[in-house]
Chains A and B, each alone.
Chain A
Amino acid sequence: DVKVTQSSRYLVKRTGEKVFLECVQDMDHENMFWYRQDPGLGLRLIYFSYDVKMKEKGDIPEGYSVSREKKERFSLILESASTNQTSMYLCASSGGGTDTEAFFGQGTRLTVV
């Protein structure tokens, strides 16, 4: 079974802190994604990566950056956390073919106070 693991289920951080959300997949997938989920807004794509060190902005990249130094790991970085970044963050991965479905992690509920 494909496994996508996010490092934390719940996080509480202070405004202005630098926050790292980690995601690891164990199926040698080329593509990895970061989304945030907010009520009424669905899943919004922040960034995705189609290869090591390769990334593309999604629909809401402002305030976020990403890092993919190894194929299995995709990190989302909040350089200076703000209260409007309080949300559920979901990581996903998929195989290299564009016809393959994405598999999701369990999500990280981030609260910025």
Chain B
Amino acid sequence: AQKVTQAQTEISVVEKEDVTLDCVYETRDTTYYLFWYKQPPSGELVFLIRRNSFDEQNEISGRYSWNFQKSTSSFNFTITASQVVDSAVYFCALRSNTGKLIFGQGTTLQVKP
């Protein structure tokens, strides 16, 4: 069975703090894909990053970075020097080799000025 767990329901930080959003997944597939999406207050889901199961290289994009560790089945997302505009719900997702795409429960991030 596939499962994505985002244990942090809500996180509140003050602007300029670093924050890490946790994501743990379960799958029996050897080939799979992991994603992060952002859902701002406007409601639309915005794609942030994709990672396949064979690529454990960490990735950095501006203030965003992602840490993928197969040994712990985790795909964590860090925002450095958070800003108010980062306030949103963030979803981690897992896609199997059959195409089925499932999401975690989401983490609501509030960045206070």
Contact = CB atoms under 8 A, between A and B. Distances in A.
B10 to A, nearest CB: 10
Nearest to A103: B47
B40 interface: no
A35 B52 contact: no
A42 B6 contact: yes
Given A35-B103, A50-B99, A99-B33, A42 B45 contact: no
Contacts of B99: 31, 48, 50, 94, 98
A45 interface: yes
A92 B102 CA distance: 12
A90 B44 CA distance: 10
User: Contact size class for A?
Assistant: 20 to 34
Given A31-B99, A40-B9, A42-B91, A101 B50 contact: yes
Contacts, number: 61
A16 B41 CA distance: 32
Contacts of B33: 98-99
A98 B96 CA distance: 8
Given A41-B105, A43-B106, A48-B99, 18 more contacts: A40-B9, A42-B91, A42-B103, A44-B103, A45-B100, A45-B103, A48-B100, A90-B45, A92-B101, A94-B99, A98-B33, A98-B97, A98-B99, A99-B33, A99-B50, A103-B47, A106-B44, A107-B43
19 contacts: A40-B9, A41-B105, A42-B6, A42-B106, A43-B91, A45-B100, A45-B101, A45-B103, A48-B101, A56-B100, A58-B102, A94-B99, A98-B31, A98-B97, A98-B99, A99-B33, A99-B50, A100-B50, A102-B35
B35 to A, nearest CB: 6
Interface in A73-113: 90, 92, 94, 98-104, 106-107
A42 B101 contact: no
A43 B47 contact: no
Interface string A49-61: 0100000101100
Contacts of B44: 104, 106
